[in-house]
Structure 1
């Protein structure tokens, strides 16, 4: 099984593309080769393929990285399933993971929720989607500083507060406050739950 994320940038018109596009490309570039494993199309829409256990982490890294720009966000549909055909471009590939992601993304575009997941396990999906809605109640309120904090922590999960303080040029006590405001503890608890819940 694999995961496919289909998404777009919410409020992309607030900034010139050259501001946020390098950030989006940097995050996606960590995940594999373009256009086989990820691609950007129609200006601000994108699709990326990840291992099953990395799907939610990838989604939250994308969300926090783009939310470091004030009033920017991402809308993301995570589809879990198989891949029955791997094309030269990810947009040519097929399988239940792609169908789940694509159909869910269409539903998200007509609703208010910005992050959801669909797999073949409906009962599990109900649980994780409730948890995502609850998590979005604070993640959607991240300030750019909080979003930066989460993105850096996701990229450096084993780093110390001292290392983080050095990176941002702030005191160690300020790091602790940033992490509390961003609720990084809950972010990592959610990721741990997801990995266990959808373990193959």
Structure 2
């Protein structure tokens, strides 16, 4: 089993030429980082869409949410950059160096779900249980939660997830504030629910 993430930047046509170029550069640099850290491979195509495949699916859901948060907090433009993301877990027929020259059910599932999803949504699909209503509902709730975040909330949540859910005191020390302040902020955005969701998705891979 592998994981394939297909994404689409929302309202990219409203950006200036410079903002758009900076955004594409940000995506390419991030894909390069994922390649170095997790052997993931990806590409930007059709202007504002991208696809990344993860040979080891264990990293996929965490990195998918981190990418969504990275775009929200990006300094490329003054307002958050939102995206639609379709993450699929399943089998492949051919996994080449590039997703564009790879094929199999998991690539088809990821692309089709992106095409039929609402804008800014996060969609997660397992090829062996595509009609699981409980997973669909839970993912929709998490997606709604992520899309409501302010940039400052997204920055803190990114730090929390990227540090593997470090103790609140360590985040407080890093940011020069109190543990209670960090705990209150994380609680208000439902960070523990997002943590549990990531763990649940990874448990389904076992």
TM-score (norm 2): 0.82
Extract unaligned runs of 5+ from structure 2. none
Tell me which residue corresponds to 1:199: 205
Moved >6 Å (runs of 4+): none
Tell me which residue corresponds to 1:101: 110
Tell me which residue corresponds to 1:4: 4
Tell me which residue corresponds to 1:38: 42
Alpha-carbon distance between aligned partners in 1 of 2:160 and 2:31, rounded to the nearest angstrom:
17
Q: What's the RMSD between the two structures over aligned residues?
A: 2.5
Alpha-carbon distance between aligned partners in 2 of 1:93 and 1:66, rounded to the nearest angstrom:
26
1:1-200 equivalences in 2 (<5 Å): 1-12=1-12, 13-14=14-15, 16-32=19-35, 37-50=41-54, 51-69=56-74, 70-108=79-117, 111-112=118-119, 114-122=121-129, 125-196=132-203, 198-200=204-206
Q: Say whether the 8 Å CA contact 2:93–2:104 is kept in structure 1.
A: yes
Count residues with an aligned counterpart. Answer: 196
Alpha-carbon distance between aligned partners in 1 of 2:155 and 2:24, rounded to the nearest angstrom:
16
Q: Say whether the 8 Å CA contact 1:161–1:176 is kept in structure 2.
A: yes
Extract unaligned runs of 5+ from structure 1. none
Alpha-carbon distance between aligned partners in 2 of 1:167 and 1:17, rounded to the nearest angstrom:
32
For the structure 1 residues 160 and 65, does the alpha-carbon distance in structure 2 shift closer, same or farther, using more than 3 Å as the test?
same
3-state SS, counterpart of residue 75 of structure 1: strand
Shift of 1:112: 4.5
